[in-house]
Amino acid sequence: MESVKVFAPATVANVSCGFDVLGFCLDHVGDEIIVHKSPQPGVRITKIEGQKLPLATKENVAGVAAEALLEKYRTDVGFEIEIYKGIKAGSGIGSSAASSAGAVFGINALLGEPFSRDQLIEFAMKGEELASGAAHADNVSPALLGGFTLVRCGKTPDVISLPSPEDLYATIIHPKIELRTADARSVLKKTILLEKGIQQWGNLAALVSALYTNDYDLISRSLVDVVIEPERSVLIPHFNEMKKAALSAGALGSGISGSGPSIFTFSKGHATAEKVQQALIETFSPLGIEFDIFVSKINPKGVQIIS
Amino acid sequence: MESVKVFAPATVANVSCGFDVLGFCLDHVGDEIIVHKSPQPGVRITKIEGQKLPLATKENVAGVAAEALLEKYRTDVGFEIEIYKGIKAGSGIGSSAASSAGAVFGINALLGEPFSRDQLIEFAMKGEELASGAAHADNVSPALLGGFTLVRCGKTPDVISLPSPEDLYATIIHPKIELRTADARSVLKKTILLEKGIQQWGNLAALVSALYTNDYDLISRSLVDVVIEPERSVLIPHFNEMKKAALSAGALGSGISGSGPSIFTFSKGHATAEKVQQALIETFSPLGIEFDIFVSKINPKGVQIIS
């Protein structure tokens, strides 16, 4: 195999009460990454379409992730990477993670899979480090493993795959406003009330249980973030109206995707997820802010070779 | 049926990273409660053995719990309750919860089971309210339902039964020191670092996943309480030595039971749990503090009729 084309999906991190630990993988929306073997050692980004991003290997998340892999797996083979961005940077659905995950997955495939998907997380995290200053696994884990993933804290990530109920769908709306990650961070307080912490971990534990038991009602009751959402949602215009509209249309619950501005909602069944989409379109259209919106099944597979 | 004898098991609440939300049920150790129907309406406590506790219905947790049930289910039948305490008050393994759960379970049986085990929780919580001033479900839930239970916060408890891995055993040591609940509460700070909160909910989410997947290694990695244990363990003499001894003997992990002074440890398999018991005996014996110690399977059934 001399080249490979990979679909690298968008992902949602910071899933409500699972702030900083729970993420899930989306379908259809993502980047396409083509990796070619090259006789010239090293990694080169040869093409980027869909977004203005740096071609210099060390300034590009995919390049940095790829180099991290090749530091562990020495080879004379080189790699050229083409990136076709389907995810907008700054949208809050794992744009950098998709490119990083796609690049290392493609190279690993061309090398005959010396690493497992789990092992690739560490390399893709290097891309995240470039993008945000912190080598977090919140988005690269679901991008590589698919489904829901839980990242237990620690510098060496302890990533646990959780099951996804068959009928669980996400509706994602991306209001096209600029939300600086620095602002999203600065609104967070360093301390929280113990009482709120207890509510949060009770809700997250219940949510994890609900994923194992396909308990949609429990997903709905437990998808409550009492710690981060009250602080961050003020940065997203009309957040509460959107939430209300989604719930009225039958959504199980909603939350901020990543650090925003995208918002995810969960629904049981595709039809309800589309109703929620319609309700969000009706709520958002009159506001004069551009937006993207789509419905996605929880993608159980993660990054995949498409040709 | 004119009378019924019930075994009401001891329980562990505040399971490590599951502070205030996660509990589990113990085997063999517990109270025996005998409930007799009586032609005289109302509830009377006729006998208490094993502990000095008030006989006055309204001053006894079992009496208060029983009256809460009879407020919802009006009947001319009365009930006389005998309590044979197998659990010491103040030991931190759900003494009041056992009596409350046993009383309402026995009365419910004599009434032909108008309430489910889940519905009995609310009544048993009234006993907890008398005992500790807060109507919490942390101990009465595992006492009534067995296994592991998760209580999502809220005044109406949302109690979720979690699975117990088949080979999971607890070793419980009760150092016979007086630890006032007020002291155990007063050491807790009202606020915690967000960073610690994230670690805590990541660990609890992983622990819940591990219970579903019988992943003993993950139970071990995730049974870490970075919020409460560092504060409360100072009240329990030699806590860190005991913890170290248990881990060296092969325990998966340990934590404070309830608000202490009892300590629970988890082990995979009965043999390891007994080794842990031996190691704790050897560590504790020279210290000149009396203690009880026992090994228990996680009790999957909860309170049961024994005759």
Contact list in A for residue B223 (CB cut-off 8 A) is none
pLDDT value for B166: 95
Return d(Cα B9, Cα B15) in angstroms, integer. 17
Report chain A's terminal Cα–Cα distance, integer Å: 11
Using a CB-CB distance cutoff of 8 angstroms, which residues of chain B are in contact with residue A153? 198-199, 202-203
In tens, the pLDDT along A9-26 reads: 999 999 999 999 999 999
What was the pLDDT predicted at B134? 83
Distances (CA, A) of A238 to A146, A242, A244, A246, A289: 31, 6, 10, 12, 10
Q: Which of B32, B67, B128, B229 is catalytic?
A: B128
Q: Which of A19, A195, A201 to mutate to test the interface with B (most CBs of B within 10 A)?
A: A201
CB atoms near residue A294 (< 10 Å)? 17
Q: What is the pLDDT of residues A250-269, one digit of tens each?
A: 999 999 999 999 999 999 99
Q: Nearest residue of A to residue B163 by CA position?
A: A209
Contacts of A52 (CB under 8 A, 6+ apart): none
Q: Which two tokens stand for residue A152?
A: 């237990």
User: What are the pLDDT digits (tens) for B203-237?
Assistant: 999 999 999 999 999 999 999 999 999 999 999 98
Q: What is the pLDDT along chain B (307 residues), one digit of tens a residue?
A: 899 999 999 999 999 999 999 999 999 999 999 999 999 999 999 999 999 999 999 999 999 999 999 999 999 999 999 999 999 988 999 999 999 999 999 999 999 999 999 999 999 999 999 988 888 899 999 999 999 999 997 667 799 999 999 999 999 999 999 887 778 888 899 999 999 999 999 999 999 999 999 999 999 999 999 999 999 999 998 999 999 999 999 999 999 999 999 999 999 999 999 999 999 999 999 999 999 999 999 999 999 999 8
Residue in this structure with the two tokens 């070619």, named with its chain if needed: A36
- Positive or negative, the CA dihedral B85, B89, B95, B96 is positive
pTM for the model stands at 0.96
pLDDT for the residue numbered A51:
92
Any idea how long chain A is?
Answer: 307
The secondary structure of B48-81, three-state, reads EECCCCCCCHHHCHHHHHHHHHHHHCCCCCEEEE
| pLDDT attached to residue B1 | 83
Low-confidence winner among A134-143, A152-161, A234-243, B74-83 (lowest mean pLDDT): A152-161
Q: From residue A74, how far is each of A66, A67, A82, A117, A271 by CA, in Å?
A: 12, 10, 22, 18, 49
Contact B176, B289 (CB under 8 A): yes
- What digits encode the pLDDT tens for the residues B89-137? 889 999 999 999 999 999 999 999 999 999 999 999 999 999 888 888 9
The answer to whether residue A14 neighbours chain B at the CB level (below 8 Å) is no
Q: Beta strand pairing status for A158-162 and B263-268?
A: unpaired
ipTM of the complex, rounded to two decimals = 0.96
Structure tokens at A290: 């551009």
Residue B176: phi and psi, rounded to 5, are -85, 70
Q: Which residues of A touch B209 (CB under 8 A)?
A: 150, 160, 162, 208, 212
Q: What angle do CA A58, A64, A68 make, to 5 degrees?
A: 130
Q: Please tell me the predicted confidence (pLDDT) of residue B180.
A: 77
Helices marked H in A51-169: 61-72, 95-110, 117-132, 140-145
With H, G, I as helix, E, B as strand and everything else as coil, classify residue A172: strand
Q: Measure the CA–CA gap between B64 and B80, rounded to whole angstroms.
A: 13
B181 tagged catalytic = yes
For each of the domains in chain A, give its residue range(s) and CATH number, in order of start: 3-163 (3.30.230.10), 168-297 (3.30.70.890)
* B152 closest CB neighbour out of A194, A195, A206: A206
